[in-house]
Structures are given as C-alpha cells and as structure tokens.
Structure 1
Amino acid sequence: MFGKCRGAICIIKITYISVLYNLSNMVNLEWYRTFTYVYEYGSLTTASQKLYMSQPGVGKQITALEAEVGKQLFERTARRMLPTEYGKFLYSQIAGFIEGLEKSEQKFRRGSSKNCPSIVVGCSYDFFHQFILKKLPEINMFLTFKFGDMEELITYLEKDKIHLMVSDREYTGYDHNFSLIAESKLSLYASKKLYDDAPFKKMDNTNAKEIQQWLSNQLWYAYDNDLPYITDFWKTNFNSRPQIMAKYVFPSFRDIVSAMSAGHGLAVLPDYIGKNAVESGVIKPMFMDNKKPNCKLLWVNKRTTNYHYEINLLTNALNIK
C-alpha cells in the first residue's frame, strides 16, 4: 500500500504508523500527553498546572521523551518552550491520537450511558466494608474505589483521580464541599484479658488521675501515629493530651480489632466499629459511663466538580444513616 505513495505524503503516513506503533510499545504513554500540553501552552508551568503535576516532573518527562525519540523537541527560553521543527512534526502526528484518548477516558469515566454513570470514590477500607459493600448489588453505576489515608485521598481529590471521598473531619486549605453522612461516638475498648485484669471498671472524678496513669502504662493500638482518636478521648475525659505512644499502628480499624482479639491492649474506636466487635465477643468496652467525643463521617467533593449528578445518585442510593 505504501509503495504507491509519493514524496512527503508517503513519509508522513509511514511515520504516523511508526508513531502509533511506538505509542503502543513505549514505556510511558503519559510522556506524549505531557508533550502535547507543553506544546499547546508553551510553558512548563502552565502544563504542570493543567496536568496536576510538579513543574520539575513535567520537565523530566519532556527530557525522557526527547531521549527516547532521539530528537530535541523544544528550544528552552526564559519565558517559553518553543517547539523545534521535529517537535512540530511530532505534534501533528500524535495530537489527534491524544485528543481521542482523552475523550475515550472521559467517556469511560462517565459510563457507557446516562442510565449507568460512573464515579471514582476514595475512602477507608473500614467505611467501604461497613457501609458500601453489602449495598453494591443495589447500585446501578460503574464504581471504582481507591483506599488510602486522609492525606492521600485529599491529594487524589485535588488531582481529579477521585470525584468523591469520605473524611472523618473538616479541614481547610482547599475549595472542598463537606456534607454529613453520619455521626458516631468514640469509645475506649480493651482486649478481653486486659478488661478482666483491669483494676478500674468505672471512671469518675474520684479516680480520674489514677485511671489516667493506668491508661498511660498500657499497650495501645492506633489508626494513625498522630493519635487523633486517642487525643480526642483524652481531651474529653482528662482535659489534657495523652503522653503515650502507640505500639501498633494499623491502616484500618478492622485490623486493630483483629489484633486486639489475639493480643493485649487498648484502642479508641468509633462505636460503629467497636459495637460490632463487642457483639462478636472479641473485645470489651471500657468505662462506658465516661464522656464520649463525637465522631463524624463526611462526604467531600470539589466545589468545581463536574460530577454533581453522579455524587447525588450514589449518596442517595447508599442512604447511610
């Protein structure tokens, strides 16, 4: 077929097929996407903002692509990234391909039809298992879940890698919208053996100092090294910060419960987790007459999101209370 071509047209067709072949076999297709953004905006800074990447990261991808194709793609100036002739030629060959890829990605993310939209949700594994897993058969949507800690999920949300996330508290510094899912309490729970051996069963004003000292000497399980739940419990009951260090830190409450059931120690858990474990007989509640701090669960999304319809559809379908 190509033998019948003449001159530049033949060369362009062959090169186009070569480019597509390389695109499918290259180590990183994102290099080409980054190249098109730098070409179109003429700036590493603007391209990095549009791609939600660091400027050095964009620069490294351009350098890597130049090394791969063996050609200089841009002339670097103080203010602009000016494409070379080869850069212009490469852009002319791949721009349509990248544009089509992004349209396909967008179409896939939003589902194959209006009757079955899609959304990406970020949450903890505990939340997924407790509130979502059993309801999945009732939800007519394409759903993708990403698990992570708060810092990771906030980053995912800012970079549009997820469209909706679950948080246990409001935070500042981002243009995010918060809406209440449910409220619970934070309670102190003990392994069965520690509960049986504990010298205190109740907490009141007469023994608060002794209990605080006893608690400080115990082995603790925690969800985070910052000890947010233990700190909330401590401030509410003793009006001070805990002077303890968790021996075991786990990425999920369910892991904490599992470890406590076979071990010896204490943990502060949301009651929606703790009560189920108590009913199963694997841990015991401590000082049920003490003051319990509140624990919230919140939906979080970017105010500028294009997924309001999908978010409302999912949250209404889950109907968590």
Structure 2
Amino acid sequence: MNQNLSSYRIFYTVANTGNISKAAKELYISQPAISKSIQKLEEGVGCKLFSRSSRGVVLTDEGKLLYDHVSSAFETLTLGEEKLKRSIELGVGHLKIGVSATLCKYLLLPYLQEFIRQNPHVSISITCQSTNETLELLEDNKIDIGLVGKPDNLKNIHFDFLEEIEDIFVCTKDYLRNLRARGVHKDQILTNSTLMLLDKNNMTRQYIDDYLSDNQIQVKESIDISSMDLLIDFARIGVGVACVIKSFVKEDLASGALVEIPLGIPIHKREVGFAYKTTTKPSKTLGEFIRFYKNF
C-alpha cells in the first residue's frame, strides 16, 4: 500500500459526504488540505477518483472500485474497535496457567472457581505439567503464570507464597499389621514395603528421592505412579506404602482409612505458590488474577 491510512480516511469521508466542505468539517481539517490529499491519492493510484458535480463531488468508476475495498476495510476497523471497547467493558481476557495435575485439583480449583465467578468473561487455559515443565513454559512465555513448588532459582521469577505442604508416607492398617506380623519394625517399614512414588520427572519425586538418599533409606521395591490421586487410591486398597501430601488425605487419616508411617526424621515442609516472570509486564488479565489471589 503506497498511501497512508489518513489519505484513505479522507477519501472515504469525501465519498460518503459527496462534498469536500462537509468532509472538512467532519474531519476537522481545512478544505485545501482535503483537496491536496485527494490529488496526491489520485497521483498515487494513477487515475481520477472524483468528478465534480453541481452538488459537490461524485466517484468515478475507478473511484467506486477503490471505495468498495476502502469501505470494507474501514467497516472492519470500526467493528474491531467496537469489539475491543466491549471486551474492555466486560473484562474479556485470556489467562494461561501452568500447574501439575495434583496442585490443580487440590489447590488451584478453589481459586479458579471464585475468580471465574467474579470475571465470567475471562477465558482460562490450563496446562497440566510437572513443576519443572511449568517453569520451562513460563520461561518460554507460553503461559502467563504457574502454580508450583518454590523453585531453588528465582532468577526472573516472582513467587507468591500460598501455603506449605507436607509429604508423608501412608498405608492401610491391614498393610501395616501384615508388616509387623513379618517382624518388620517401625524404623524398617520403608525398606521392607512396596513403596509407591510419583514418577521421576515430578519435582515431588525428586524431593523425596533426596530425602531417602540423605537418610540412607534403601528402597527394595517401588512402583512409579503418574498422579497423586492414583497413589492415594492404590494406598487405600492396600497395594503398598504411598508418599502423598498430608493435606490431601486428611479425611482418610481422620477416618482411619489410611495411617501415617512414623518417620525418625520428618520430611521438611515445602512452599507452593504462584510464579510469574518479572521480565515481562503482566497483561491486564494477569494483573487482575494476581490482585485476586492476593486478596482471596
């Protein structure tokens, strides 16, 4: 396009009004400026666009052809402006969140339920990945915010603490009773049971592996499981001892469906919270979500 948008705006207005004087008043510019702009546009396209009449100006055949396209373009722009204004008024936006399946179910959903109630026109995209993968997506600007375990390296990351989580080992009373019947003492449970852990790509698994290694606990038999829900379900039916987050099984512990394995050295609690990049200015929608969860 050899002409600038203002030239086509003038052309479009003159064609609609059919009068240079009326167009000048509508555009708040002088009549000579309009005449000069039309002349320059005609030179640029290589043909006459208007012919004078007793009532003002009318489009030539070439002008009508150009007007059809210019009119369509300005109508599209006007529609875009109206949609943008309406979306701003309604609070329309898009929020991309990264979170592990476990934290999504047990921690994120309550926040989302209330946020969506307050912001019904915001669309939400959830990417369920491990914490490590969520941080990678955040670094690559593929998500706006992540709900993660606090990373060791906070470079370019702002972390808002939500709560502490505590990892524990649990099993059924029957499973524990059978271990004791075989002469397994309480300080030998982890080394003599089928230990059920999240898969090795999960940050929780890496944290537990470090705990086992630091305390010289040798695991003889283990099962890698893809989700916390399955870990809890397998523990409930007596498959083995599962490493779970304590707050996620509080009802099972209260009812006696599961019991906590006593540990000589407890596993340190971990921090979880929302993380977003400090090197990128938050969008309006992300800013709204940050303000929301800080006051939740």
* Interval of TM-score (by shorter of Structure 1 and Structure 2): 0.5 to 0.7
Contact 1:185 1:295 in 2 (8 A): yes
Q: Which amino acid letter does the alignment assign opposite residue 154 of structure 1?
A: L
Give the Cα separation in 1 of the matches to 2:126 and 2:112.
12
Contact 1:163 1:305 in 2 (8 A): no
| 1:163 aligned residue | 144
Q: Deviation per CA, 1:212-265, whole angstroms, max 9, x where unpaired?
A: 434212101111327334346547xxx524322663222321121012222321
Instruction: Confirm whether residue 217 of structure 1 aligns to residue 192 of structure 2.
Output: yes
Contact 1:261 1:282 in 2 (8 A): yes
Give the Cα separation in 2 of the matches to 1:167 and 1:257.
20
Q: Deviation per CA, 1:5-54, whole angstroms, max 9, x where unpaired?
A: xxxxxxxxxxxxxxxxxxxxxxxxxxxxxxxxxxxxxxxxxxxxxxxxxx
Q: Which amino acid letter does the alignment assign opposite residue 93 of structure 2?
A: P
| 2:164 aligned residue | 183
Q: Which amino acid letter does the alignment assign opposite residue 274 of structure 1?
A: V
Q: Deviation per CA, 1:81-116, whole angstroms, max 9, x where unpaired?
A: xxxxxxxxxxxxxxxxxxxxxxx9xx99xx943623
TM-score, structure 1 as length reference? 0.53
Give the Cα separation in 1 of the matches to 2:193 and 2:287.
45
Structure 2 gaps, min length 5:
1-79
User: What SS class does the counterpart of residue 194 from structure 2 fall into?
Assistant: coil
Which of 210, 214, 230 does residue 208 from structure 2 map onto?
230
Give the Cα separation in 1 of the matches to 2:125 and 2:217.
38
Contact 2:164 2:271 in 1 (8 A): yes
Greater mean deviation of Cα atoms: 217-226 or 159-168: 217-226
Change (3 A) 1:112 1:146: farther
Q: Which amino acid letter does the alignment assign opposite residue 230 of structure 1?
A: I
Instruction: Confirm whether residue 197 of structure 1 aligns to residue 178 of structure 2.
Output: yes
Q: Which amino acid letter does the alignment assign opposite residue 250 of structure 1?
A: I
Structure 1 gaps, min length 5:
1-103, 201-208
Contact 2:212 2:218 in 1 (8 A): no
TM-score, structure 2 as length reference? 0.57
Change (3 A) 1:161 1:247: same
Give the Cα separation in 2 of the matches to 1:312 and 1:282.
42
Give the Cα separation in 2 of the matches to 1:155 and 1:168.
14
Q: Deviation per CA, 1:122-176, whole angstroms, max 9, x where unpaired?
A: 0012222112334544321321110011232122112211111122132328522
Contact 1:257 1:277 in 2 (8 A): no
Which of 99, 105, 108 does residue 123 from structure 1 map onto?
99
Q: Which amino acid letter does the alignment assign opposite residue 310 of structure 1?
A: T
Contact 1:185 1:293 in 2 (8 A): yes
Change (3 A) 1:215 1:262: same
Give the Cα separation in 2 of the matches to 1:137 and 1:299.
16
Contact 2:193 2:221 in 1 (8 A): no
Give the Cα separation in 1 of the matches to 2:131 and 2:170.
23
| 2:22 aligned residue | none
| 1:243 aligned residue | 218
Matches within 5 A, 1:37-48: none
Give the Cα separation in 2 of the matches to 1:149 and 1:229.
13
Contact 2:175 2:238 in 1 (8 A): no
Give the Cα separation in 1 of the matches to 2:159 and 2:112.
23
Q: Which amino acid letter does the alignment assign opposite residue 246 of structure 2?
A: D
| 2:246 aligned residue | 271
Identity between Structure 1 and Structure 2 (%):
17
Q: Which amino acid letter does the alignment assign opposite residue 195 of structure 1?
A: L
What is the deviation of 1:294? 0.7
Larger C-alpha radius of gyration, 1 or 2?
2
User: What is the alpha-carbon root mean square deviation over aligned residues?
Assistant: 3.5
Give the Cα separation in 2 of the matches to 1:215 and 1:260.
14
